[in-house]
Structure 1
Amino acid sequence: MPSCGHTERMNIKSVTSKYIDQEQWVAVLSWALLSSFCLYLLGQREQTPFFSPHWIIAAVFFVVFMVCFTIATREQPYKNEPWLRLSLVFVQLVAIFSLYYLIPYSVVAILMTICVAQLPYYTSIRNSVLISIPLSVPLWLIYQFGWGDSYAWVSAILFWAFNLFAIVTMGTRLRETEALERELAINRELRATQMLLEEASKQNERTRIARNIHDLIGHHLTALSINLQVASRKAGDDLKPTLEKSQSITKLLLSDVREAVSDLRDSAVLDIEKALQSLAYRSADKQVEVRCQKNLGIQAIDIAEAVLRISQEAVTNFLKHSNGNRQSISLSRQGNTLCLFIEDNGSTQHFKEGNGLTGMQERANDLGAELIVEAKSKGFNLQLTLEDNV
């Protein structure tokens, strides 16, 4: 059976390959068939033979549309999100309207269906439907009055219905994908929290055992030592050596018990490495690496929880908002100082502190820790430094 992390990577990969890649390939296939059909029929016309200026301009607009569509639907983020993609969508619309004027066949409106299917990525389904209405009007006007097609209004209504279907289908798929991503994010957090709770339970159990040993065995050994001391004073000369030896052994045993209790208390630290490693992530376009210093223990549960929650929030922000493809989380100790360093290679031009970073700062303030956030043009860095007297 695959591990949870492996299952998560498989789910993300299946979503990418099942929806994004297939959508693009279907769009490319539709474009290829449509453009070949239209350009062939256009070249058969006496007014627009093959490789005439009219024919070449139409071919150029077909190519422009597909180039812009391919760039606009790239999975990896761009620096200027979402304005670059919206600009490319606008260019696609210009290419479509131009083809309406150049191609006398209303099937060109198939490109509009491909184009409006991108709208749910940028706005709601309701807004996408409203936008699709005026986008369907040029098809009627151009073919009705430009090409003399008396049934152009029928084509406009039918293609608008196709556009509605594409918008609703895409919007539904996007909601399903977002729900899956939220579920995977929750699973990551639950696994990390579960591991932290397991470590906290182990810590509590070690502390309980140490307390019981100290309170019970230590108490009885102390009482035994006192009784042996009293007995040696009252005993005859023949028993004193034996009682003194017994008392010496009792003191030695009491010292060993105290040392064992101290060792148990000192070892009652949280192993946070497993919890942090559960945040590691790998998909086709993003990767989260976790590095944790070996034998690094944290004694205070509130410190361990703060380190884990800040790391979780950083991973969530990276997966949702960063246009980078790699993030690293590093936790190390120098003496009593813990240092959590998180960085990614995404470019940041307009940085605005949101609820996630505000929550990180609040957690750091509660612990008296220092949190430094740096948004650079070639990366985003976060450093948490705090004292942990293990």
Structure 2
Amino acid sequence: MLAARGAALGWAARIALLVFLAAWLRVLACAPRQLRWHDDVVLLALAGSAFALIALGPTGTAPILLVLLACVLAERFDTRGLTLALLTVNLLLLVLLRWRWQVSWTYALTSVVAYGAFQVFAALVLRYANHAEAMAEQLREVNARLLATRSLLDESARDAERLRLSRELHDVAGHKLTALKLNLRALARDPALAGRRELAVAAGLADELLADLRGVVRQLRQHDGLELGEALRRLAAPLPRPQVAIEVAADARAADAEQAETLLRIAQEGLTNAARHGGARRAWLRLAREGDALTLHLDDDGRVRWPLVPGHGLTGMRERVERLGGTLELTPSRHGGLRLAARLPAGAGA
């Protein structure tokens, strides 16, 4: 009879341990702070299986399980909630030690204090680790923004130099070449010079030079605007996740620095949300010109709870876009996460 009861308790303990292990593996498989709707189920499974093991009889496994449970509680609750949760856990432990295991009050209180100290230590270590990780992530985001801004400033300087050079060629050199052609035509009407071959060659060279100059100015004008490919790549490179595939069309150029800054901030906020709130592993960013508008599409494979409630970041993005006469749409992505689509008039800031 005792052997059968011991075997039953052994199987019950194994089942409880397997339940705890399965729930713990589920916690490890999830991105930090991404349990969401099923986090309560996982938490109940961890707590229930841990206390089931404790209720079945004295075991050295219980303190370890309670420390692991404290780590999950530290992820789940704020400081006040964590304090209440740990007090509840150790109160239940005290009840089981005193009335289930029939140990003395001294042993029970000593055990609870010792186990509780380990739980608090584990929770604090996890909190500090999470805080350090959050600070490192913020530093990476700031570094990415600085690199993108520097790239944008470099591109702005190049664009300003192209514009200045095209104007100088058109207004100064073009004007003087036109004056030269007019003078050559006046000389050609002089009977004493009308038959000179050198005059005809000089007039032909002036025509060719003016045509070449207009071609150079036209080529410079074709590259008006700010190229954002390098700035977007620098924005995404320092981020550990998600991995971003970037596609920028050759004619997708921002009209000015304000429009370029808006597109960069939209991309940055979208990537930050994909990593921080969606737990995305991959993202796809595409900047293109469609008719008279610039379009930026950002898709990710993260998790999104619908209906989506925009936070301050998304609200700020929408305000930036609307101020420049554009639109911002948030829809489900075919990759499973969020699809962000921004559309700006090509000359929004001009």
Q: How does the TM-score come out when normalised to structure 2?
A: 0.83
Task: Give 1:352 deviation, angstroms.
Answer: 0.6
Code of the aligned partner of 2:71? A
Residues 1:276 and 1:284: Cα distance change in structure 2 (over 3 Å):
closer
CA distance in structure 2 between the aligned counterparts of 1:51 and 1:286, rounded to whole angstroms: 51
Residues 1:144 and 1:301: Cα distance change in structure 2 (over 3 Å):
same
Code of the aligned partner of 2:232? L
2:30 to 58, 62, 75: 75
CA distance in structure 1 between the aligned counterparts of 2:28 and 2:205, rounded to whole angstroms: 79
CA distance in structure 1 between the aligned counterparts of 2:241 and 2:232, rounded to whole angstroms: 21
Secondary structure of 1:382 counterpart = strand
Native 8 Å contact 2:251 2:289 kept in 1? no
Code of the aligned partner of 1:115? L
Native 8 Å contact 1:48 1:55 kept in 2? no
Residues 1:267 and 1:83: Cα distance change in structure 2 (over 3 Å):
closer
CA distance in structure 2 between the aligned counterparts of 1:179 and 1:282, rounded to whole angstroms: 14
State how many pairs are aligned: 342
317-326 or 60-69, larger mean C-alpha shift = 317-326
Code of the aligned partner of 1:145? W
Secondary structure of 2:342 counterpart = strand
CA distance in structure 2 between the aligned counterparts of 1:386 and 1:241, rounded to whole angstroms: 60
Secondary structure of 1:117 counterpart = helix
Q: Could you tell me which residue of structure 2 aligns to residue 313 of structure 1?
A: 269
CA distance in structure 1 between the aligned counterparts of 2:75 and 2:174, rounded to whole angstroms: 68
1:216 to 162, 172, 177: 172
1:362 to 313, 319, 341: 319
Task: Give 1:252 deviation, angstroms.
Answer: 4.9
CA distance in structure 1 between the aligned counterparts of 2:121 and 2:294, rounded to whole angstroms: 55
171-180 or 100-109, larger mean C-alpha shift = 100-109
The answer to whether the aligner puts 1:94 opposite 2:48 as a matched pair is yes
2:309 to 352, 362, 367: 352
Q: Could you tell me which residue of structure 1 aligns to residue 297 of structure 2?
A: 341
Q: Could you tell me which residue of structure 2 aligns to residue 388 of structure 1?
A: 346
Deviations 1:223-275 (A, max 9, x none): 54555566667xx6323555964456545534443443233222233322222
Residues 1:49 and 1:177: Cα distance change in structure 2 (over 3 Å):
farther
CA distance in structure 2 between the aligned counterparts of 1:111 and 1:380, rounded to whole angstroms: 37
Q: Could you tell me which residue of structure 2 aligns to residue 124 of structure 1?
A: 78
CA distance in structure 2 between the aligned counterparts of 1:239 and 1:71, rounded to whole angstroms: 95
The answer to whether the aligner puts 1:373 opposite 2:330 as a matched pair is yes
Task: Give 1:171 deviation, angstroms.
Answer: 0.6
Native 8 Å contact 1:347 1:376 kept in 2? no
Q: Could you tell me which residue of structure 2 aligns to residue 191 of structure 1?
A: 147
CA distance in structure 2 between the aligned counterparts of 1:48 and 1:188, rounded to whole angstroms: 65
2:232 to 268, 273, 276: 276
Counterparts of residues 134-173 of structure 1 (less than 5 Å): 134-150=88-104, 151-173=107-129
The answer to whether the aligner puts 1:53 opposite 2:8 as a matched pair is yes
CA distance in structure 2 between the aligned counterparts of 1:282 and 1:207, rounded to whole angstroms: 32
Task: Give 1:49 deviation, angstroms.
Answer: 6.7
Counterparts of residues 178-327 of structure 1 (less than 5 Å): 178-225=134-181, 237-241=191-195, 245=200, 246=202, 249-250=205-206, 252-280=208-236, 286-294=242-250, 296-327=252-283
Native 8 Å contact 1:221 1:250 kept in 2? yes
1:65 to 20, 24, 34: 20
Residues 1:334 and 1:232: Cα distance change in structure 2 (over 3 Å):
same
CA distance in structure 1 between the aligned counterparts of 2:188 and 2:227, rounded to whole angstroms: 49
Task: Give 1:388 deviation, angstroms.
Answer: 2.0
Task: Give 1:52 deviation, angstroms.
Answer: 1.7
Task: Give 1:205 deviation, angstroms.
Answer: 1.0
Instruction: List runs of 5+ in structure 1 lacking aligned partners.
Output: 1-45
Secondary structure of 2:29 counterpart = coil
Q: Output the aligned Cα RMSD.
A: 3.3
Residues 1:160 and 1:384: Cα distance change in structure 2 (over 3 Å):
same
Instruction: List runs of 5+ in structure 2 lacking aligned partners.
Output: none
Native 8 Å contact 1:100 1:106 kept in 2? no
Code of the aligned partner of 1:109? P
Residues 1:348 and 1:52: Cα distance change in structure 2 (over 3 Å):
same
